[in-house]
């Protein structure tokens, strides 16, 4: 038997458990794993030299395929470069199976090169970190390799999903002879895990039934959430039949809920104390993860409900609004379907709930009116371009939003209910600017539909190694809002008026995307005048085998003026 047979069989275990995509980073120490995955005919492998980017590419693939992607690197600092993506996967519950190759334990810190302390390297950002045995002579060691890999895969996919790490020390020689053939053990042991159902328990139903009639200002708020037709259907029913307002950001993927409140960030920024008071819920029901809207967070903290129920299949709930009173461990679909099945309270009580919904609807319509009248502006800036892009998105596509203003502009504008074949993604687990393009590339490599990213320039240039590989990405489109710095620091309160603002916060930079497009043979579409917009949009959204970047260069001041006008118009809408 080949010395590395238990390691080669890892590929077989992964494949049998439904993992079919591996992201491999070059190096010698990881050769046994690299060869195992590369030679397995049911695993699709791709290789990327920059581990930071590779980590985010694996994250994008896992988000798209909804199973763990395999991620492999060599020993040393390579492993540390996975960390930003691992942290994002941790906080956004994306399943990753991460292998870091290592030297045998006795060689750590012996100046033998490319060696760092790798056990538990990702700390709390992985669900668990395993250490593989470094010799495989004893049957127990071979059993351990099999058990650990089975357990790691199962764990990565257990709700809430997340990254799991396996550190794998390998003793030399690492490479087989050039003509050596690999076989994979066909009867390799698989530990199957039957997923929990998370259906609503009788006890939970009883609790809801008992308490439900005492609330008449019920509000549902959804944080970042993956697109889920069943939840959309259930929430739509609750809104239509029971008059419960459903509030969501663009990353909640609830845009198909026709009368949902998607502009809370807009109206809550300027609403009077009296209006805010009228919008205060007595029961707040939440689902999903982080909320983009700071105004919504501040509003709920300042106007706490009597009770706050959070719905989540498993794991600890966060207390974002400082109001949590109950955690329901079940799926949103079973929870909301049960609520829908409850009889509505007496007419009078139901009318109170319907009236509460109307108050939210009035504010939503106010925000929509402001946005409808905001454009065109005499200064064509990035906000208006985002609006145009969102109006022209293909019927079916993935919309990716980079941190920082890109995701905010898109959130202000929102997606219409008719755009039900658009799914929105954003790295809001850690809100980093370091992997937005790489995550997009991961999606492009694992889906056939168009993937469109809206990004700022710092975020874009930070992650340009996203494009440094040998794979075609014809379904990739990037809208680059190049204001030559981080405009967010001119928009948020605090840094904007400081003398240090430009140098230390905005961090002005001179690059544009022309040279990058030449290097990677992408089509560069430069939007230097609004009159060119129509033709450029047509070319941009033509999917003709080419990768395209549409760039708008502006200066910060112009965009600030537009943003100020926006704020004033919201304010004015309350003065009429
Ligand atoms: C890895 C990382 N480093 C630093 C930050 C802090 N940060 C948040 S937004 C931002 C500027 C982003 O600039 P750009 O991508 O040009 O977008 P804009 O603000 O212009 O919309 C920075 C540095 C971060 N979020 N992530």
Q: Rounded CA gap, 515 and 551, in Å?
A: 12
Q: What is the 3-state secondary structure (H, E, C) of 499-513?
A: CCHHHHHHCCCCCCC
DSSP 524: E
27: phi > 0 → left, psi -120 to 50 → alpha, else beta; which?
A: left
Q: What is the pLDDT of residues 159-168, one digit of tens each?
A: 999 999 999 9
What is the SS3 assignment for 17? coil
Q: Rounded CA gap, 149 and 127, in Å?
A: 14
C-alpha 81 – ligand 1 centre gap (Å) = 19
Q: Rounded CA gap, 149 and 145, in Å?
A: 6
C-alpha 124 – ligand 1 centre gap (Å) = 24
Ligand 1: residue of 85, 403, 453, 462 to mutate (most ligand atoms within 8 A of CB) is: 403
Is-contact 93 289, C-beta < 8 A? yes
Question: Which residue stretches of 113-249 are H helix?
Answer: 139-157, 202-211, 229-242
DSSP 486: -
Counting atoms of ligand 1 from 1, which one is nearest the CA of 382? 21
Please, what is the average pLDDT of the chain?
A: 96
Pairing assessment for the beta strands 326-328 and 422-425 based on DSSP bridges? unpaired
C-alpha 403 – ligand 1 centre gap (Å) = 6
Ligand 1: residue of 454, 459, 504 to mutate (most ligand atoms within 8 A of CB) is: 459
The residues, any chain, with a CB within 8 Å of residue 134's CB and separated by 6 or more, are 104, 105, 169, 170, 171
Strand ranges (DSSP E) for 283-413?
Answer: 283-287, 307-311, 326-328, 397-401
Q: Whose CA is nearest to atom 10 of ligand 1?
A: 486
Local confidence band at 367 (pLDDT 50, 70, 90 cut-offs): very high
DSSP character string of 288-310: SS--S-HHHHHHHHHS--SEEEE
Q: What is the pLDDT of residues 517-568, one digit of tens each?
A: 999 999 999 999 999 999 999 999 999 999 999 999 998 889 999 999 999 9
Among candidates 334, 426, 326, 351, which has minimal Cα distance to 91? 426
C-alpha 286 – ligand 1 centre gap (Å) = 28
Ligand 1: residue of 88, 404, 434 to mutate (most ligand atoms within 8 A of CB) is: 404
C-alpha 485 – ligand 1 centre gap (Å) = 9
The residues, any chain, with a CB within 8 Å of residue 9's CB and separated by 6 or more, are 36, 145, 146, 184, 185, 188
Local confidence band at 349 (pLDDT 50, 70, 90 cut-offs): confident
Does residue 347 have a pLDDT over 80? no
Q: What is the pLDDT of residues 31-62, one digit of tens each?
A: 999 999 999 999 999 999 999 999 999 999 99
C-alpha 559 – ligand 1 centre gap (Å) = 16
What pTM was estimated for this model as a whole?
A: 0.97
Local confidence band at 350 (pLDDT 50, 70, 90 cut-offs): confident
Q: Whose CA is nearest to atom 26 of ligand 1?
A: 432
123: phi > 0 → left, psi -120 to 50 → alpha, else beta; which?
A: left
Counting atoms of ligand 1 from 1, which one is nearest the CA of 491? 19
**Sheet containing 69-73, strands listed edge to edge, beginning at the edge strand earlier in sequence:** 44-47, 21-24, 69-73, 96-102, 163-169, 129-131
Residue with tokens 């085998």: 545
Q: And the tokens for 552?
A: 């708008």
Among candidates 407, 445, 444, which has minimal Cα distance to 426? 407
Lining ligand 1 with CB less than 6 A are 403-406, 431-434, 456-459, 483, 486-488
Counting atoms of ligand 1 from 1, which one is nearest the CA of 406? 21
Is-contact 546 474, C-beta < 8 A? yes
Is-contact 504 490, C-beta < 8 A? no
């Amino acid at each position: 038997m080949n010395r590395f047979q238990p390691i080669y069989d890892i590929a077989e275990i992964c494949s049998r458990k439904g993992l079919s995509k591996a992201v491999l980073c070059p190096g010698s120490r990881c050769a046994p794993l690299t060869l195992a995955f590369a030679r397995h005919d049911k695993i699709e492998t791709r290789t990327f030299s920059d581990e930071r980017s590779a980590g985010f590419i694996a994250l994008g693939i896992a988000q798209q395929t909804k199973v763990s992607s395999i991620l492999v690197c060599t020993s040393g600092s390579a492993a540390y470069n996975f960390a930003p993506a691992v942290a994002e996967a941790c906080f956004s519950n994306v399943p990753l199976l991460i292998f870091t190759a290592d030297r045998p334990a006795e060689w750590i810190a012996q100046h033998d090169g490319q060696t760092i302390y790798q056990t538990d390297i990702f700390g709390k950002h992985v669900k668990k970190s395993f250490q593989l045995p470094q010799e495989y002579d004893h049957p127990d060691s071979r059993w351990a390799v099999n058990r650990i890999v089975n357990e790691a895969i199962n764990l990565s996919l257990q709700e809430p999903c997340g990254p799991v790490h396996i550190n794998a020390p390998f003793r030399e020689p690492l490479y087989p002879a050039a003509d050596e053939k690999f076989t994979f053990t066909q009867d390799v042991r698989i530990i199957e895990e039957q997923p929990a159902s998370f259906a609503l328990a009788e006890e939970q139903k009883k609790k809801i039934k008992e308490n439900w009639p005492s609330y008449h200002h019920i509000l549902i708020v959804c944080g970042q959430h993956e697109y889920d037709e069943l939840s959309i259907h259930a929430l739509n029913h609750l809104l239509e039949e029971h008059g419960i307002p459903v509030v969501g950001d663009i990353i909640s993927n609830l845009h198909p809920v026709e009368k949902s409140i998607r502009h809370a960030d807009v109206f809550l920024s300027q609403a009077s104390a009296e209006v805010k008071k009228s919008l205060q819920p007595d029961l707040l029901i939440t689902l999903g993860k982080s909320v983009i809207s700071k105004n919504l967070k501040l509003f709920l903290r300042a106007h706490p409900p009597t009770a706050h129920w959070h719905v989540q299949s498993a794991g600890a709930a966060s207390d974002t609004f400082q109001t949590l009173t109950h955690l329901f461990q079940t799926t949103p679909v079973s929870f909301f379907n049960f609520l829908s099945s409850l009889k509505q309270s007496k007419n009078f009580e139901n009318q109170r709930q319907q009236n509460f919904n109307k108050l939210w609807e009035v504010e939503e319509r106010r925000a929509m009116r402001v946005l409808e009248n905001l454009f065109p502006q005499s200064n064509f800036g990035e906000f208006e371009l985002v609006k145009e892009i969102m109006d022209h998105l293909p019927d079916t596509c993935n919309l990716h939003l980079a941190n920082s203003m890109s995701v905010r502009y898109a959130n202000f504008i929102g997606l219409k209910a008719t755009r039900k074949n658009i799914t929105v993604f954003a790295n809001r687990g850690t809100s980093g600017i370091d992997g937005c393009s790489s995550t997009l590339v991961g999606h492009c490599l694992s889906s056939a539909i168009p993937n469109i990213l809206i990004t700022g320039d710092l975020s874009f240039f930070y992650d340009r190694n996203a494009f440094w590989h040998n794979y075609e990405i014809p379904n990739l489109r990037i809208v680059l809002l190049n204001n030559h710095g981080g405009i967010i620091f001119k928009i948020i309160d605090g840094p904007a008026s400081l003398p240090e603002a430009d140098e230390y916060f905005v961090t002005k930079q001179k690059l544009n995307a022309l040279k990058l497009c030449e290097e990677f043979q992408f089509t560069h579409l430069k939007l230097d005048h609004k009159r060119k917009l129509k033709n450029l949009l047509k070319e941009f959204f033509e999917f003709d085998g080419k990768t395209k970047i549409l760039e708008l260069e502006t200066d910060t001041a112009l965009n600030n003026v537009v943003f100020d006008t926006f704020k004033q118009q919201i304010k004015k809408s309350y003065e009429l």
